[in-house]
Amino acid sequence: MSRPALGAIAILLLLALLLAISSVFIVDVRHQAIVLRFGEYVRTVQDPGLHLKRPWFFETVYDFDSRVLDVEPPSEEVIAADQKRLVVDSYARWRITDPLRFFQSATDEAGARSRLNSIISASLRRVLGNVSLGSVLSDERARIMRQITDEVREQAKPFGIAVLDVRLRRTDLPEANNQAIYARMQSERQREAQEFRAQGDELAQRIRSVAERERTVIRADAQRQSEILRGEGEAESVRIYADAFGKDKDFFAFYRSMQAYKESLSGSGTTLLLTPDSEFFRYFEHPDGRATAGTKP
């Protein structure tokens, strides 16, 4: 075979190979595709594997992700129904359900995310504008998120997108409002602390007054009881002395004289000026206590 013939065969084989390669395409298990012929829709391919199409520019394949995707819109500052400003940070999960509509309206994922950001922002402003700050921070938060999800899902359907969920990740006040609220909370706590201290001082003073009154009453009762006991003791002492004096007058006189000697002569440097025949010294001269001369017996 001549060299020109071999060259022609090689060219034909190469063209056939290129034709075969351009006539097949592969759909990944994580993707789905649409086939367009000169810009006109032909079919949607959602089954993974090897598929056939017309070669080269006759038919073009566009593939799209079939998995659950997410979008994180930028933080939004919205005004609640009670005129409180809120900084809302949200995110959403979505997937492509109609590749043709998605291609015609959003073209690609970047365009879809841009449209979803606008839809979510508008829904946040509309829904949160009809509720108060307290509702957003209470158990009603789940209901509010469901309402936002329903609105965003309905508006995203024309783009071939199914919105699965919209969540409020963070709902906070603007920084300027935070500082004002913190200052107000601090002053409120200080006022409450002062009230608690004043109530504590009042209660402490009341307790001290009651304790002081009870102490005075107890001491008065104790003093009265001690006076009664002391009087009873002295009365008993007088009675005992009287009984003793009545039983033996001489012994009682001797005992009293000995007590008088003890008390008057016990100190150092004690000086007594008495006459020698004083009745005080009668037990010094006569142990039996007889009166000395010149004194009364």
Specify the residue for token string 């009870």: 214
User: DSSP 3-state assignment of 275?
Assistant: coil
Cβ count near 92 (within 10 Å): 25
Summarised one tens digit per residue, pLDDT across range 43-73 is 999 999 988 888 767 888 999 999 999 999 9
Rounded Cα distance between 70 and 186, Å, is 40
Helix (H, G, I), strand (E, B) or coil at 40: strand
Q: What is the pLDDT of residue 283?
A: 62
Residue that wins the pLDDT comparison between 288 and 292: 288
Q: Is the pLDDT of residue 296 over 60?
A: no
Q: How do the residues of the chain divide into helix, strand and coil, expressed in percent and rounded to 5?
A: 55, 20, 25
Tell whether the model's pLDDT for residue 24 goes beyond 80: yes
Q: What is the rounded (10 degree) CA torsion for 153, 157, 163, 164?
A: 90
pLDDT, tens digit (0-9, with 9 covering 90-100), for 169-208: 888 777 766 666 677 788 888 999 999 999 999 999 999 9
Mean pLDDT of 99-111: 92
Contacts with 48 (C-beta within 8 Å, 6 or more apart), sequence order: 27, 28, 29, 31
Given a contact cutoff of 8 angstroms between Cβ atoms, the answer to whether 86 and 128 are in contact is: yes
Given this model, what pLDDT does residue 275 score? 67
pLDDT at residue 297 in the model = 44
Token output for 177: 């409002």
| pLDDT tens string 201-210 | 999 999 999 9
Q: How does residue 150 score in pLDDT terms, banded at 50, 70 and 90?
A: very high
Whether 265 has a pLDDT exceeding 90, the answer reads no
Which residues make beta-bridge pairs with 158? none
Q: Which residue has the higher pLDDT, 183 or 154?
A: 154
Q: What is the pLDDT of residues 108-145, one digit of tens each?
A: 999 999 999 999 999 999 999 999 888 888 888 899 99
pLDDT value at 294 more than 50: no
Domain 69-173 of CATH type 2.40.110.10: no
Are 129 and 78 within 8 A, CB to CB? yes
**CA of residue 94 relative to chain centroid, distance:** 36
Enter the tokens of residue 119: 């839809």
Q: How is residue 97 annotated by DSSP?
A: S
The beta-strand segments (E) located in the chain are: 24-27, 31-37, 40-45, 49-52, 59-65, 69-71, 76-79, 85-96, 161-172
CB 87 within 8 Å of CB 111? no
Question: What is the torsion angle, in degrees rounded to the nearest 10, for the CA atoms of residue 193, residue 198, residue 199 and residue 204?
Answer: 120
Total Cβ atoms within 10 A of residue 275: 10
Compare 178 and 39 and report the one with higher pLDDT: 39
Name residue 96's beta-bridge partners. 161
Distance from C-alpha of 254 to C-alpha of 249, rounded to nearest angstrom: 9
Q: Lowest mean pLDDT of 9-18, 19-28, 56-65, name the range.
A: 9-18
pLDDT given for residue 268 in this prediction: 63
Q: Which of residues 39 and 252 earns the better pLDDT score? A: 39
What is the C-alpha R_g of the chain? Answer: 58
Q: 31 and 25 in contact (C-beta within 8 Å)?
A: no
Q: Which of 109, 99, 97 shows the shortest CA–CA distance to 42? A: 99
Closest CA to 121 of 81, 162, 91, 82: 91
Outline which parts of the chain fall under CATH 3.30.479.30. Answer: 69-173
What is the spatial distance between Cα 258 and Cα 276, in angstroms, rounded to a whole number?
18
Which residue, among 152, 60, 83, 77, has the nearest Cα to 112 in the 3D structure? 152
Contact call for residues 67 and 30 (beta carbons, < 8 A) = yes
Predicted structure pTM score: 0.56
pLDDT, residue 199, reads 92
pLDDT at 289 over 60: no
